[in-house]
Structure 1
């Protein structure tokens, strides 16, 4: 059992002591616990007691390699750091909500009470490895960003999360719609709309806008009529902090918007609405799609070709499909611009279905390989 006074936490200092010297000046002294764990005695003098204290405190902070701010200090906890960082983070609300959820559910119980001076790479490595791949990735991203902020503020002298092992690569493979699957999905949502009441009748047109723009469902939900001009649509990237891009849409999407215009134009500023002329919320189209799957599964079957299974198709699949179609027929750079990604690696690594983007290269191969008649002779 440990006896005596508890040791000063690493990277902090104890109570400042002062003494007035015979010369009339004041001497302030304090013991600092360095990041190495060793103690160091620091002394400074001043014309007044307050000046001596200020000088010795500044020297103690320099010795630990960090600086205190109005909101954070080396003795602050990881939970406090995350709160301060998120309060100044200017990302999308959905991203902030996800970060707070990760912090509350995973980070806080494991390392949230640690002081910043106690946060080390080995501790974080053990914590990350105790999680599943997706939770590992989410927690590491959160702590890397928060600690990066602390380093910029001078509260930490390095980023311990940046030195940890990244989460294992996902075995996820993007899947794009085939033409047959796309046709079946269109029939499914139209079949639902023919029987739907109220605002669910908008689902087929909403699907056409998703298919023709490659936008996220959250971006389509905030689409206004002022964003639509003929065959050009301006997309507001909700997840990307409100960045805008203008895309050219195909005739099927133009026709869908014209049909939708008759429903909401002049009544609501939004292309897709749900009561009181307000924008449709993301959860509502997702509910329509769930109902559409149920109605489609219960439909009366007729004799004819077997319909492919489209129960796996979500709204985000149209984004991956757009990336795959453009990368296969035009270029990855075009797909990146269409989706609004900042880096082509994001599009290539997470959105392109490699099985669905192989172009017809027989003309090129024919020139290289020849007719093959010399093999037959």
Structure 2
């Protein structure tokens, strides 16, 4: 029994036939086997036979397979991407909002009118290189957004490859992590005291800022994790008082400020033992602070969650004209990591901070000592193979 004629290869078409429709109008037609395996007729018209065939060939080259998907090579860049992200529900709303900001302010003004098939690696590369002169941070965020957006186009077969992947690597000057010395901490506490005592219009400043910073120093937690703490997360009466970090604070347009039940990552969920100064501070707050409906350790006067941005802005006001401009809330976290690394090891510091890997802690959080550790006595062992050096050492010791 014969097998019959083999099917046309995907994406190829058969013989083009042209007919005259009326004076000055010709129609060219053929059948193409689309990438879904279905053969379909495609037509095009022109004022001459050659023009009709040329129009049909152009149409065939740019043809996208009819599909249920809304993303094709003819889709305008950025169309539908944010909707897919929100529908997928995998990425946090605050991250999507940041993507949308970069998309609106940076990407769309440059590429908004382009179809996906018109976005080339060279065009993207030149644009990203230009962005570096404006801001390395903006360059990095834009590359992330473009890469994720065009990655979706690849997954939906609108593009064969992601053109962002071949653009130039973003080089960012690496700065050494800087932590606080005891002298710096003394200056921080002095600035906190001065700001709290300062007379200003409105309600008197509370002691929240000093307590928030103390708890950051006591735990190495992120500022959002500190603000998300509830009294139910703290065991002050345990044999070894501790607290459990299991949430963070988020603020989104249209949603307001709320407590997210999971912090930044799975490894961020952790229970840490409390030093004595934090235990004393928390017991004082538990006794003196009014009860609030959300059980927050650091609620607003209205009994709602404090915003991370507001606390960061308050700290910028406190450090103004104090020489502490380099100190951010993350600096307290780096200070904890550095101290634990020096006294114990980087692995313990990573666990305390909620990092998935000690490599992250070493590279971005642990300050290098000003001088290397004093290992002179250890290195002295290397001289034992040199009798002359050993003799000189003995002479120096006698003198």
User: Which residue pairs with 1:340 in the alignment?
Assistant: 354
Matched position secondary structure for 2:79: helix
Q: 1:310 to 1:349 in 2, by over 3 A?
A: same
1:264–1:270 Cα contact (<8 Å) kept: no
User: Which residue pairs with 2:285 in the alignment?
Assistant: 260
Question: Among residues 131, 138, 145, which one is paired with 1:135 in the alignment?
Answer: 138
Shift of 1:364: 4.1
Alpha-carbon distance between aligned partners in 1 of 2:89 and 2:286, rounded to the nearest angstrom: 37
Q: Looking at CA atoms only, which structure, 1 or 2, has the larger radius of gyration?
A: 2
Q: 1:57 to 1:290 in 2, by over 3 A?
A: farther
Aligned length: 324
User: Which residue pairs with 2:221 in the alignment?
Assistant: 215
Alignment of 1:269-280 (within 5 A): 269-280=295-306
Matched position secondary structure for 2:131: coil
User: Which residue pairs with 1:246 in the alignment?
Assistant: 271
Answer with 200-209 or 162-171: which moved more: 162-171
Matched position secondary structure for 1:233: strand
Matched position secondary structure for 1:234: strand
2:72–2:156 Cα contact (<8 Å) kept: no
Q: 1:288 to 1:42 in 2, by over 3 A?
A: same
TM-score, length of structure 1 as denominator length:
0.73
Q: Within the alignment, does 1:84 sit opposite 2:68 as a pair? A: no
Answer with 252-261 or 341-350: which moved more: 341-350
Question: Among residues 40, 46, 56, which one is paired with 1:56 in the alignment?
Answer: 40
Shift of 1:138: 0.9
Alpha-carbon distance between aligned partners in 2 of 1:30 and 1:145, rounded to the nearest angstrom: 40
Answer with 241-250 or 97-106: which moved more: 241-250
Matched position secondary structure for 2:338: helix
Q: Which runs of 5+ in 1 are unaligned?
A: 1-11, 20-28, 32-40, 46-52, 298-308
Alpha-carbon distance between aligned partners in 1 of 2:345 and 2:76, rounded to the nearest angstrom: 47
Shift of 1:99: 1.5
Answer with 124-133 or 251-260: which moved more: 251-260
Alpha-carbon distance between aligned partners in 2 of 1:235 and 1:283, rounded to the nearest angstrom: 20
Alignment of 1:67-146 (within 5 A): 68-87=67-86, 88=88, 90-132=90-132, 133-146=136-149
TM-score, length of structure 2 as denominator length:
0.69
Question: Among residues 204, 218, 222, which one is paired with 2:210 in the alignment?
Answer: 204
Q: Within the alignment, does 1:317 sit opposite 2:341 as a pair? A: no
Matched position secondary structure for 2:299: coil
Matched position secondary structure for 1:313: coil
User: Which residue pairs with 1:232 in the alignment?
Assistant: 242
Answer with 187-196 or 108-117: which moved more: 187-196
Q: Which runs of 5+ in 2 are unaligned?
A: 1-10, 19-26, 43-58, 249-262
Shift of 1:215: 1.7
Alpha-carbon distance between aligned partners in 2 of 1:357 and 1:106, rounded to the nearest angstrom: 44
Alpha-carbon distance between aligned partners in 2 of 1:237 and 1:352, rounded to the nearest angstrom: 24
User: Which residue pairs with 1:305 in the alignment?
Assistant: none
User: Which residue pairs with 1:26 in the alignment?
Assistant: none
1:174–1:353 Cα contact (<8 Å) kept: yes
Task: Map Cα deviations across residues 50-84 of structure 1 (whole Å, 9 max, x no partner).
Answer: xxx964289x9999787845442222122115323
2:64–2:72 Cα contact (<8 Å) kept: no
RMSD: 3.8
2:334–2:365 Cα contact (<8 Å) kept: yes
Q: 1:71 to 1:361 in 2, by over 3 A?
A: farther
1:227–1:233 Cα contact (<8 Å) kept: yes
Q: 1:96 to 1:228 in 2, by over 3 A?
A: same
Q: 1:334 to 1:144 in 2, by over 3 A?
A: farther
Task: Map Cα deviations across residues 107-161 of structure 1 (whole Å, 9 max, x no partner).
Answer: 1111233222222221211111110222211111112222223333333322211
Matched position secondary structure for 1:240: coil
Alpha-carbon distance between aligned partners in 1 of 2:17 and 2:287, rounded to the nearest angstrom: 80
Alpha-carbon distance between aligned partners in 2 of 1:346 and 1:208, rounded to the nearest angstrom: 24
Q: 1:169 to 1:44 in 2, by over 3 A?
A: closer
Shift of 1:291: 3.7
